[in-house]
Chain A
Amino acid sequence: MVDRYNLISLRVHNFMGVEQSEIKFTDQEKNLRKVMTITGHQGGGKSTIIFAIQWCAYGTSIGATSRRLSRTRLYPGKWGGKQLGDISVTIRLRPVGDYGPDSDIFCKRVLHEDGELDSLQVTIGPDNFDEIESKNYFRQIFGKPPQIEQGAMWVIRKEEMQRMAETITKTKSSYFLDFMNLDVPLNVLSELKSDNDNTIERIGRKNWPSVHQLPILDASRNSLRDVIREDKMEEEKLIKWINENKPQKTQKDLQEAKETFDKAKQKFVDAEKSLSENRLRRDELVDLVNVLLSAKLDSSGIPVEPSFNSKYDWEDIASYLEKTRRFTPNVTNSIKELAKSSGYDTSGLLDRQESKEEWIAKIRELRRALNDQINSTNEIRQLESIGLTQENLQEISRTNLEFEKKTKDLGKLSERLSQNLEKLSGIESEIKKIRRSETNESKDKIKLDLAERQNNLLNGLMDSIEEANHQYKIDLLSQTIKRVKYFWDIIDQRREYVPLLIETPTPQFALENLSDSSVRYVQLDSSTGTASGGESQLLLICTCLAVSESSGAKMPIILDDCFTDVDEPTVKKLLSTVSEHFNSLIFVTNYEAKAKLIQNNDGVLRISRDHVDTYVNAKNSENWAKWE
């Protein structure tokens, strides 16, 4: 942790009366000079060196109104009030302590010809820091730019003394905080709070899922599950029935079988009808016998006896036939039998030729009808033998119809089941979505809660820092006042007065007479104040030193000869006190005698310029600033 820096070198380019110069503050053995004097005649360039250091530290923003180190004030006179090139100052610093050249910090400020603002560049060894980091380094090393009422008090000139006299109040004491340098942590705290604010806003914008729909969806799901469960049971039953009652024949087969059966049945009915219609009557049978016999006789070449043309004479006919030996006994016996029956006359035997063809057709028809009857009967029997009875077919048809109905029912049920399952899936998906959202909501709420808690903590922390800053400034002011008295006690040689802070009506430092307690006010110019010039200057210097100490100034104290009215013993004591106390002092004076007042001086830098109008450049730089 670096507490103070030593000046190693100062490089100046196009700054006021210096075109180009580098002043090294180390001795020939490269040892640091902690206490040194810069002296030289009026107009030699001593103040230019102080201004260069001050400008490098704070830039053109330093001061205001008449004290402002304005841009044009930096220009070399020969530029004629216009910037004709880049202006730059580089300060090389080394931390006090066990540090070598590798730790040197190069602080460079450049005012480019075409740039509106200064640019800062900090380099440590091989590391070049960016603009923001460089700015932080500048701030930490040099303190805030002294804008009238604030600034690290390490360059002590008349202007700073007057400024200090005007501003040493409770309300204008923020320079005390420069040393603490809590800007970065405070910015980070603010950023973290901002991050949390963003989280809170982002989560707050979210539309939470409709959790209140969950009970309704749950009820719908449970109800649907019941329906599905019942439907599934019904489906199982139907499937089981259908499997068990799967028809042996399909409806088509059954239809075909029924048609076959019906056809056979119809054939049988038709055959029966035909048989019934063609059934031979008794009188027709006699006629048939006559025709058949006549035909037989005719084909056998046996003439028909005229005697045959009588009724009930079948025995004669039979005997006749026997004689012809053309007929078997069975035939002749059958004919004899006809005689025993009534109604079978033979009258038609002779004239049956013309009805022969009719009988042939009739017989054929009868035979066909008989065949049909036999065939259809056989067919029906055959169908019945394989179970295709009328009753069976009816039963099968009934079962098939039921099967079809159940199958249709199963189809409808399956479709409904499928629709309900799909619906259930939708509801469950919605429930899951809501539950998932609920989980996310829960997570978001945790995040929200954490962000709120952290923000409360961060607010508490920032409030505490703010309050601490306020308290610190008050305490530091009080301490500073004590330190003013401390420095006064050491440095003052006359012992007539002690410093006193007058709070009202306007806070200001004064001196209290030790003998009569009368008060003398600081003299800022010849028209104000009642203290003497020397006393006023000494009091202000003591104030500056106390503030410098309280504000944790890290740069060497630069005392520009601002105590012209202080007597020599006091100046001597002042210089020795500062050099011992701060262990780092640059004393700037016109007077040779004063330059010799510092006892433990590490060197005197003599600034001299032969002609005021001559600019310091690379060629004459060494002659301009010489170490003695």
Chain B
Amino acid sequence: MSDSTIQHDHLRKMYSEILMTKMNQNDVLSQLTDEDLQTLHRELTKWFGASPPETVRVRNDLKRILSKLSLDNIPGVD
């Protein structure tokens, strides 16, 4: 591991895998379909170790993703 880029990618991958595991283990998130869970995870992954993203852009992206997810299995109002 002599190249910093490889090291950074390694860190990103490591964090990404941990996050995916935690998302799968989460009681609520595990109710999402695999596809939705991966979409959500992918959305977060793109910001790992990146230059500071603009808040507005992150907000718009997250809102867009949230609107696409199927929340049928997520607990709502009783």
Q: Which residues of A contact B (CB under 8 A)?
A: 1-4, 96, 132-133, 136-137, 139-140, 179-182, 184-185, 187-189, 191-192, 445, 448-450, 452-454, 456-457, 459-461, 463-465, 467-468, 471-472, 475-476, 479, 549-550, 552, 580-584
A interface SS class: helix
Q: Say whether B14 contacts A475, CB under 8 Å.
A: yes
Q: Say whether B63 contacts A192, CB under 8 Å.
A: yes
Q: What residues of A have a CB within 8 angstroms of the CB of B69 in the complex?
A: 457
Check: B22 CB closer than 8 A to any chain A CB.
Answer: yes
Number of A-B contacts (CB under 8 A): 142
Q: What residues of B have a CB within 8 angstroms of the CB of A457 in the complex?
A: 28-29, 32, 66, 69, 71, 74
Q: What residues of A have a CB within 8 angstroms of the CB of B29 in the complex?
A: 457, 460-461, 464
Q: Which 8 A-B pairs have the closest CB atoms?
A: A136-B52, A460-B28, A449-B76, A468-B19, A453-B71, A464-B22, A453-B76, A3-B8
Q: Give the interface size class of chain B.
A: 35 or more
> Nearest chain-B residue to A189 (Cβ)?
B62
B12 to chain A, nearest CB (A): 8
Q: Report if A137-B26 is in contact (Cβ < 8 Å); known contacts: A445-B77, A468-B15, A583-B3.
A: no
Q: Say whether A472 contacts B74, CB under 8 Å.
A: no
Q: What residues of A have a CB within 8 angstroms of the CB of B19 in the complex?
A: 464-465, 468
A35 to chain B, nearest CB (A): 14
Bitwise, B1-31 to A at CB < 8 A (1) or not (0) is: 1111101100110110011011101111100
Q: Say whether B26 contacts A460, CB under 8 Å.
A: yes
Q: What residues of A have a CB within 8 angstroms of the CB of B62 in the complex?
A: 185, 188-189, 192
Given contacts A182-B48, A453-B75, A583-B2, 12 further A-B contacts (CB under 8 A): A4-B4, A139-B52, A179-B8, A180-B12, A449-B76, A449-B77, A452-B75, A457-B74, A461-B26, A467-B25, A471-B22, A581-B1
B55 to chain A, nearest CB (A): 6
A191 to chain B, nearest CB (A): 7
> Nearest chain-A residue to B27 (Cβ)?
A460
Q: What residues of B have a CB within 8 angstroms of the CB of A453 in the complex?
A: 71, 74-76
Q: Say whether B63 contacts A1, CB under 8 Å.
A: no
Partner of A192, one of B1, B59, B71, B75: B59
Separation of A448 and B76 alpha carbons in the complex (Å):
8
Q: Say whether A472 contacts B18, CB under 8 Å.
A: yes
Separation of A113 and B58 alpha carbons in the complex (Å):
36
Q: Say whether B15 contacts A181, CB under 8 Å.
A: no
A45 to chain B, nearest CB (A): 29
Q: Which residues of B contact A (CB under 8 A)?
A: 1-5, 7-8, 11-12, 14-15, 18-19, 21-23, 25-29, 32, 40, 44, 47-55, 58-59, 62-63, 66, 69, 71, 74-77
Q: What residues of B have a CB within 8 angstroms of the CB of A468 in the complex?
A: 15, 18-19, 21-22
Q: Say whether A552 contacts B49, CB under 8 Å.
A: yes
Q: Say whether B49 contacts A192, CB under 8 Å.
A: no
Q: What residues of B have a CB within 8 angstroms of the CB of A463 in the complex?
A: 26
Q: What residues of B have a CB within 8 angstroms of the CB of A582 in the complex?
A: 4
Q: Report if A181-B63 is in contact (Cβ < 8 Å); known contacts: A453-B75, A454-B71, A471-B18.
A: no
Q: What residues of A have a CB within 8 angstroms of the CB of B66 in the complex?
A: 192, 454, 457
Q: Say whether A184 contacts B52, CB under 8 Å.
A: yes
9 chain-A/chain-B pairs, Cβ below 8 angstroms = A1-B50, A3-B4, A4-B8, A181-B50, A450-B71, A452-B76, A456-B76, A460-B27, A552-B11
B15 to chain A, nearest CB (A): 5
Q: What residues of B have a CB within 8 angstroms of the CB of A552 in the complex?
A: 7-8, 11, 49
Q: Report if A472-B15 is in contact (Cβ < 8 Å); known contacts: A188-B59, A457-B69.
A: yes
Partner of B18, one of A3, A445, A449, A475: A475
Q: What residues of A have a CB within 8 angstroms of the CB of B49 in the complex?
A: 1, 3, 179-181, 552
Partner of B51, one of A1, A450, A583: A1
Separation of A583 and B2 alpha carbons in the complex (Å):
8
B40 to chain A, nearest CB (A): 7
A307 to chain B, nearest CB (A): 144
